[in-house]
Structure 1
Amino acid sequence: MTATLPTPDLSVEALAEVTAEIAATAADYDRTGDLPWKGVEAAHRAGLLTATVGRQFGGPGLGPRDTARILTAIGEGDASVGLLASNLLISHAGQAARPHWPAAYYDDLLLRSQSGPALVNAVRAEPELGAPARGGLPKTTATRTGDGWVLNGRKAYATGGTGLAYHVVWAVADEPDGDPDRPRVGHLIVPGDLPGITWVDTWDHLGLRASNTHDVIYDGVRLPADAFVEIPRGPDGIYRDPAAAAGPGSFGHPALYIGVARAARTAFAEFARNRVPSALGKPIAGTERIQAVAGEIDLQVVQAETLLHGALLRLEAGDPIAAELSNLKVAIARSVIAATQTAVAALGNPGLSRHNPLERHLRDALCIRVHPPQEDAVLIAGGRRILQK
């Protein structure tokens, strides 16, 4: 199927309008924990949620830098919407680069995307295993049958919950002629409305409260033969999870959190302009102390944005920086958290009040640390790399 999907307006003004519309409902969704459909729909109407659909499928086929700008704008409005959008745009970009979905399923996804948001997410973590990037194989199994697969297992942290149109589920293949010591590992493309899928509402998190990152159980879910997409082992025959190191397509999550830091910068400035202590008799924005704090926040945001887009520009230029990408993700995370923490710390109690959006921005910003590769693993790998002969 070739869809007809719009090329979004990525002008500063157009993105700012989308950010404002998404932000208008962010606090309410943060309190209720409901899926932030109004924000998702705003991003969809602007054409942002299909921006990475490949041109061969009738989409605009936008690249990593445009995707980063989109996700920063969405994340500035609502981090939960940004996470849902990031997972979706990464999925479309992967399909554009290397078509691997069953044709009927991707046709259906594109058809849905023409009339409204159709969310996709890679469902990978498990309650016992934890983060796949830490190593190990999933307990979730795809058992080969005469005409397809049967999926069984339980997953954790499945962002999107019942709002997902499709799941991309990490599993081990259980095949009659397979090698039990070296089973195939891959993802299954799973329609979200199939029988045998049960959601368990486990998400009660510090941040990203509207992301609906619940557990999901697959019990005898039947899929066609082409639903399984193998992840190849390395030349040495060892399976390594692709998320264990950052790659060219893994900067969507950092981009959305830069949006969170930008929102914190704006919230701090608005508070400073409007706060007039009786002892001072003028807005605190006129004091050098607050001006210095605002400058520090701005420095951290600019640093994060420059690291993000500098890395993507270097990749476009063909610079050999693959080994540095994980370090850059960690550095961006540090800047995002530093910006939001600085804003909250400078305001004291008002910065921690739920009447002020800064406390929500801080909670959301801290979630950047959970996305692989995590900081400790990056530092150990980098240290080993530079210390070896």
Structure 2
Amino acid sequence: MPTPAADALALPTPRLSHLVDVTAALAAHAEQHDRTADLPHAGLAVVHEAGLLTLTVGAEHGGPGGGLTDTVRVLTALGRGDPSVALISAMTLFAHAAWAAWPADSYAEVLAESVRRPTLINSLRVEPDLGTPARGGLPATTARRTAGGWELTGHKIFSTGAAGLRWMQVWARTDEDPVRTGAFLVRTDSPGITVERTWDHLGLRASRSDDVTFDRVPVPLGATLELAEPGAPGADPGGLRAWNALGIAAIYLGVAAAAVDWLTGYLRERVPTNLGKPLAALPRFQSEVGLISAQLLTATTLVDSIAQAIDRGEPVEAARPGLAKTVATTAAIEAVQRGVALIGNAGLSRRHPLERHLRDVLCGRIHTPQDDVVLTAAGRAQLERNS
């Protein structure tokens, strides 16, 4: 079944000129979502209605064909408003960017639904015993061949947006000999799926990265991605590893930007009686805010420059997107920590959003690619070049 013709779809038009409004709409409810840790349905609806959730749908499918540069810009804006909404949205944007790996009939369903409502997609890879697959190993989740296709059984954790997903790309092994691994495409209205509310996290509390169990879930025979024997060269459809690294970096740069927004407002408004003028008038505070600005500018420029190079089709060294992610998340974390140190107790009060930004930005370190893997690979490559 071919994908719908471009003129048959009416996907929301992305309003990139209105990103400030989208950020404000998300920020208005971010604290509430953080307190309740409920899935931010209203925020995701805002992203959908602004045409941003389908930004990366290709022009051949009636979409805007947004590239990595636009995606980084959007995710920074969403992260500035509500990083939980940003992270859930990012997973869907990445999936559309890699649409070529999808079976045509399944992707046609995704596009048709995306016209009407937020249609969320995510890859479910992490397991209780295995941990992150980026460090090697085979999944325990197993796909068994049946007369009509596959039957999927297993348990995934840290499944971002689980309760709101429409499609899950579930990494699993087959029961064949030899074993193959790959992603199995599962509609979440399929029988045998249970989402257990287990997410109780320090930051990104509304991302609802819950547990999902699969009990003999039926999957059509062709609804698989990159099914191959372990150890085979891994495909990277659409350069998705770079999209993931730079997109994740953008979210946390957005969190840091929100923290700076609040910090500068606080420093302008706070007038201690013994000083008689705002804290913003003191050289110490000016210098520290200047240092924060310099760190964030450097990181943002690095992320943007690599995204632009990829969009232009220029060769980019494989390690660079990961290095940019490490540089950006480190700068974002340090920026928020400096802000907290600068103002003391007020920075950790739940009356103010800075403590929420601190909790959220710390999550930047846990995403793949993680810092130790990135730095080891980059260091090894540098040493080999100079040998």
Please state which band the TM-score falls in when normalised by the shorter chain. over 0.9
Contact kept? 1:6, 1:60, Cα under 8 Å? no
The counterpart of 2:59, out of the listed 55, 59, 82, is: 55
Q: Which residue is equivalent to 1:310?
A: 305
Counterpart check, 1:40 vs 2:35: no
> What amino acid does structure 2 have at the position aligned with 1:329?
K
Distance 1:368 1:241, change over 3 A: farther
The counterpart of 1:8, out of the listed 11, 14, 30, is: 14
Contact kept? 1:135, 1:241, Cα under 8 Å? no
Q: Structure 2: where are the runs of 5+ without partners?
A: none
For residues 232 and 252 of structure 1, the distance between their equivalents in structure 2, rounded to whole angstroms, comes to 27
Counterpart check, 1:126 vs 2:127: yes
Contact kept? 1:202, 1:214, Cα under 8 Å? yes
> What amino acid does structure 2 have at the position aligned with 1:271?
Y
Q: Which residue is equivalent to 2:174?
A: 173
Distance 1:242 1:129, change over 3 A: farther
> 1:256: Cα distance to partner?
1.2
Q: Which residue is equivalent to 1:356?
A: 352
Secondary structure of the 1:322 match is coil
Q: Which residue is equivalent to 2:242?
A: 248
> What amino acid does structure 2 have at the position aligned with 1:284?
L
Secondary structure of the 2:137 match is coil
Q: Which residue is equivalent to 1:23?
A: 27
Contact kept? 1:246, 1:373, Cα under 8 Å? no
What number of residue pairs does the alignment pair up? 376
Counterpart check, 1:277 vs 2:246: no
Mean alpha-carbon deviation: is it higher for 24-33 or for 352-361?
352-361
> What amino acid does structure 2 have at the position aligned with 1:293?
E
Distance 1:318 1:241, change over 3 A: closer
For residues 185 and 43 of structure 1, the distance between their equivalents in structure 2, rounded to whole angstroms, comes to 33
Secondary structure of the 2:97 match is helix
For residues 316 and 27 of structure 2, the distance between their equivalents in structure 1, rounded to whole angstroms, comes to 38
> What amino acid does structure 2 have at the position aligned with 1:132?
P
For residues 169 and 62 of structure 1, the distance between their equivalents in structure 2, rounded to whole angstroms, comes to 26
Identity between Structure 1 and Structure 2 (%): 46
Distance 1:64 1:246, change over 3 A: closer
For residues 61 and 73 of structure 1, the distance between their equivalents in structure 2, rounded to whole angstroms, comes to 19
Secondary structure of the 1:112 match is helix
Q: Which residue is equivalent to 1:339?
A: 335
> 1:273: Cα distance to partner?
1.3
The counterpart of 2:103, out of the listed 101, 104, 115, is: 101
For residues 289 and 207 of structure 2, the distance between their equivalents in structure 1, rounded to whole angstroms, comes to 30
Q: TM-score, normalised by structure 1?
A: 0.92
> What amino acid does structure 2 have at the position aligned with 1:295?
G
Mean alpha-carbon deviation: is it higher for 279-288 or for 73-82?
279-288
> 1:281: Cα distance to partner?
1.5
CA offset digits 1:277-304 (Å, max 9, x no partner): 1111121111111111211221122112
Contact kept? 2:142, 2:152, Cα under 8 Å? yes
Q: Which residue is equivalent to 1:228?
A: 224
For residues 235 and 338 of structure 2, the distance between their equivalents in structure 1, rounded to whole angstroms, comes to 35
Secondary structure of the 1:312 match is helix
For residues 354 and 235 of structure 2, the distance between their equivalents in structure 1, rounded to whole angstroms, comes to 35
Contact kept? 1:254, 1:332, Cα under 8 Å? yes
Q: TM-score, normalised by structure 2?
A: 0.93
For residues 249 and 240 of structure 2, the distance between their equivalents in structure 1, rounded to whole angstroms, comes to 11
Matches within 5 A, 1:203-222: 203-222=199-218
The counterpart of 2:326, out of the listed 317, 324, 330, is: 330
Q: Which residue is equivalent to 2:90?
A: 86
Contact kept? 2:139, 2:171, Cα under 8 Å? yes
Q: Structure 1: where are the runs of 5+ without partners?
A: none
Distance 1:233 1:270, change over 3 A: farther
> What amino acid does structure 1 have at the position aligned with 2:243?
G
For residues 282 and 298 of structure 1, the distance between their equivalents in structure 2, rounded to whole angstroms, comes to 23
> 1:222: Cα distance to partner?
0.4
CA RMSD of aligned residues (A): 1.9
